Structures are given as structure tokens and as C-alpha cells.
Amino acid sequence: TEVIVNSVFNYNLQNGCVSKSILKKAGPEMQWQLDKAKQSSDSQTVLVTEGLKLSCQYVFHVVWQHDNKHQILKDAMKSCLKKCLQLYINSISFPALGTGGIGIEDSSAAKVMLDEILTFAKEYTKKSLTVRIVIFPSDKETYKVFCAEMTKRSSELSLSSSSVVSVPQQIRGEQRHGLEAGSPAISLVGVKVEEMYEAKEWIEKLLTSEDCHIIENNHILYLGKKEHDRLSQLQTTSGVSISETVSTQKATLQIRGAQADLIEAVIQIEGMLCEVQEEVARKKRKRQWTDQQGILDEMEDFHTYLRYPVPLSQELEDRKRQFEKCGLWVVKVAQIQNNVLKNAFQKKKKMMEGRTLRGSGSQRLFQQVPYQFCNVVCRVGFHRLYTTPCDPVYGTGIYFTKSLKKLADKVKKTSSTDKLIYVFEAEVLTGSFCQGNNLSITPPPLSPGALDAHDSVVDNVSNPETIVVFSGTQAMPQYLWICTQDRTLSQDQMWEQDDSSELDMVSSPHSWRKVSNGSPV
């Protein structure tokens, strides 16, 4: 938006939570500009400052300076909208003006604001102006009142048929909730249904965090001095507290603070963790290239894998029925091809076949992975950082299961039914194995004092269901199964409309390009 509207008391931006947050983000020059605007105005209801460090062009400050608050609101709405004409503004965002400390009832504020917006729209029919009313997710009652008022005026608010613009088929918006009722909403646009689904869930979780947000990500273990310095600085500049917890199963950061500060801090921390994740993946990819053909610097920035939806063969249909028998309804399956991983896997397989009587012992096994790590598994293979949290009772390695029922039982205990579940089917080289224990960080020797070691450890030697390997090169991702516990969700039409038949790929070492028929979120 080009303009945001703010309420100001006694011309002091330090008064009020929203004003204070705006000042903190924009910088002290905003108060200076406001003071200057005050001196040059003749008791104006609305004063204008630049957006400065905010992502908007201007801030319109509504000055509440006498007791007739309903008249101030009416005058402020008129003034803000007319200033949009004077400054050639195309979009403006209002809060629910006057409903906080000013004490105007939600219903009165909604009526006055919509009255003035509609009056302006009728008077200036040739002016194209996008007007947004922004309400915090926690202000549910205010939200309901504004929705009701907008619904009541639906005939006045409705768009003419000539103003409706069709959207290209390959780009969809996740707009079902809210827009049908004419209420404020965040619109997500993307190609892959699962991308938009996860983005929506992340945004909702962040916006409904009142004073505490927990980030769970094993890359926290890789934070160094530079990253911890950034966290320390963030605590000072954003006014939040950050605590780190590391256990045998997972690593978390807990961020506490006022909601506006919390959101800003969480976004910065998530960005930092993405950088750390990318650096870890880059180093792993570099080792894979080095092992096979020397470091190719020009390859560094490319994702050397291919992932694409596949029609269900008889084998995949049978596998799908296995998932559904365990209560996991399949919505999508994609095949993975990665020549770098495949070459490393084949090299490991050949080495294992010549070393033990059991040979490589290749098996098809399963691993649940959080959505945020699906792409990196396709790129650089499996790693204990990328799995869902589990108690390392059989050793500190990479856990797979033979039993879909066991995996589904764990999902039912840890995930709500409306979540999407991501399960990799992999070819895993189990080779020679033995009973695992929680002290194992590498496979035990074949016999006491022997130089050669087992290839993996298991939960039960006579009938293994959980298999733990200690090298990512022993597992090759074959398919990614996307499932849900909610059968109704699995039958949603959105999956039939999914256009993500694009290839997430880099074609060859000599001709690199990304093939896509749409845009990511």
C-alpha cells in the first residue's frame, strides 16, 4: 500500500502501541516531520509525513485533539481520501479508526468509515483508489462488526461486471476464507497447492501469536557466533526476548514480546535460519560434486534434481492403498531424479556389495519430513537435520521405517488432522546391521576389535521395522508422497485443479535452466 493511516495523540508518536511501532520502524525523523507539519498547519485533522523506512510512501496521521470524536473520525476519513487525490495516491490502508483508546464503538466506526468511503467512491467515479481496512486477527469482535456492516452494504460495495479481471489458469489465489463474505483477507498466489497451504498455515500461526512464538528447526544447532550476535542485537533493537532450547529430539527458539515486535523478530530469525540451511546444503552439495568429478564452481548455484508428478502405475496404486489402509489419504505423489545423488548411492552400493556377505541389502523404506525440508532432501539427500523429531533410542543417525502403520501412528499422535504430511519413499542400503542403542554415533564393528563395521542399526534384529543409517549416501529418495489424515481434504477440488506439473529441475551440467509454468508463492 502507498499510504498507511495512524492515530496520534498530543502530536506524540510515543503515545499508543501502533504509533510507537511505526516510529520505531520508520525512525526518529518521522516525529521531526510531524512536528514540522503541525507548525505549518491550521488545526488540521490529518497531518502527512513521509513513510521513510516503512514500506509505504506516506503516513497520514489522524490527530485526536477534542472531545467530538465522531466528528473527528468523519473529517479524518474525508481528509485522508481527498489527500489521496492531491498526492496521486492509488492505495491506502486504514485501521479501525477510533475503536481503541479513543472509545468509539465498533459499529459506529464501521458505519462512519464505510459511509465516507462510499461517498468518495460515488463522487469521484473516475479515480481508481484501493481502500483497505486492516484489522488485527486478535480483534475478532471488531472484525465481525466490520464484516456485518460490509455485508449490509453489499449492493453498494459490489463491483461492476466490467471491473472483474480473470486470472490466468496457471496462477491461483488462496482466497476462499474471508473474500466470500466480503471481509479483509491476505491473498496468496502460486502454482503448487501444497506451497500455498503451508504458506497460509505459517502466516496464520504467526499472526495469531499474541506474545510468544516457537521456531522448531534443527539448523539452530548450526548457529555460530555471527548468528548469536544477530540474535542478541535483535533482542536489543526489537524489544523481544529469545531463549534457545536443545534436546536429543529437537532444537527450538522461543521468542517473546509484543505482537508487532514479535512478528518482525520472527521473520528476521526465519530468514537467518534459511541462510544457515542453504549454507549447510551448499557444503554438502559441494562434497558430492568433489567426490564424483571435482568441484565445479559454476554448478554451485543450481538445484541438480528433477521432481515431477507421476501417473499411478499398478505398483504405486498398491502403495497408495497401503497408505490409505493406515489412515493416510494420498493427495499427490512426485518422483525424484537426482543424478548426483544417484551416482553417490551407486558408488556406496557397489562398495558394500563387495565387502559383506549380506551385500548392500537394498530396501524400500519411508521417512516423514517437514515441508520446509522437502526441497533440500531432493537436492542433497537425507540428513538427520531434515527429519521430524524422534527420540534417538537406536543411535544418532538417519531414521527410516519399513512400517507405514508405525509412521501413521506417530503422525496421529503429533499432527492435527488438517495438516499435510510429507513422506519420502527411499531405496536404503541397510547392508549388515545389528541392534542399535542410544550411544551409537556410527555403526558398531562387525565383531569386537574388528576394523570393518556394520552398515546400519535396527530396532529388532530378527524383525527390523526401524532402520538407522549414518551416511546420507546410503539412501536415495525415489518418491515424495503428500498425504492428509482428513479424507475430505484429500477429495478437495483444489487438488484436481493443481497445475504444478512443472519440473523442479536443472537439466544437465552443460545446459542449465529452470522449467516452470507459473510463479512460486
Note the pLDDT tens digit of each residue in 299-347: 444 445 667 677 788 889 999 999 999 999 998 898 888 888 888 898 8
Q: Do domains 188-282 and 301-496 have the same CATH topology?
A: no
pLDDT at 136: 79
Alpha-helical runs (H) found in 381-486: 404-414
**Spatial separation of the C-alpha atoms in residues 355 and 368, rounded to whole Å:** 30
pLDDT at 184: 58
pLDDT over 90 at 68, yes or no: no
Q: Which CATH class is domain 188-282?
A: alpha beta
C-beta of residue 513 within 8 angstroms of C-beta of residue 502? no
Domain 3-161 has CATH 3.30.70.360: no
Q: Evaluate whether 401 touches 467 at the Cβ level (below 8 Å).
A: yes
Give the residue extent of every domain in the chain.
Answer: 3-161, 188-282, 301-496
Q: Tell me which residue of 453, 201, 180 sits closest to 188, measured CA to CA.
A: 201
Higher pLDDT, 2 or 506: 2
- All three cell numbers of 485, joined, read 489424515
The mean-pLDDT minimum among 160-174, 202-216, 355-369 falls in 160-174
- The answer, yes or no, to whether residue 504 has pLDDT greater than 90, is no
The answer, yes or no, to whether residue 29 has pLDDT greater than 90, is yes
Q: Is 360 exposed, middle or buried (0-12, 13-18, 19+ CB in 10 A)?
A: buried
pLDDT band for position 3 (cuts 50, 70, 90): very high
| Pick from 478, 469, 468, 374: nearest CA to 421 | 374
- Tell me, which fold does domain 301-496 have in CATH? Phosphoenolpyruvate Carboxykinase; domain 3 (3.90.228)
Confidence of residue 495 (pLDDT cuts 50, 70, 90): low
Residue 366 is predicted with a pLDDT of 96
CA 48 to chain centre: 35
User: Measured between alpha carbons, how far is residue 72 from residues 44, 77, 79 in Å?
Assistant: 10, 8, 10
270-302 pLDDT, tens digit each: 999 999 888 888 887 777 665 555 444 444 444
Q: Tell whether the model's pLDDT for residue 387 goes beyond 80.
A: yes
Q: What is the pLDDT of residue 496?
A: 60
CA–CA dist 268, 262 (Å, integer): 10
Question: Under 8 Å CB-to-CB from 283, ≥6 apart: which residues?
Answer: none
**What is the identity of the amino acid at 451?**
L
Average pLDDT along the chain: 80
Distance CA 419, CA 181 (A): 25
Are residues 378 and 338 in contact, defined by beta-carbon separation less than 8 angstroms? yes
Q: What is the pLDDT of residue 434?
A: 87
- Higher-pLDDT residue of 483, 65: 483
**pLDDT confidence tier of residue 181, bands split at 50, 70 and 90:** very low
Q: What is the pLDDT of residue 501?
A: 41
How many CB atoms are closer than 10 A to CB 237?
13
The pLDDT assigned to 139 comes to: 81
Separation of alpha carbons 37 and 516, rounded Å? 50
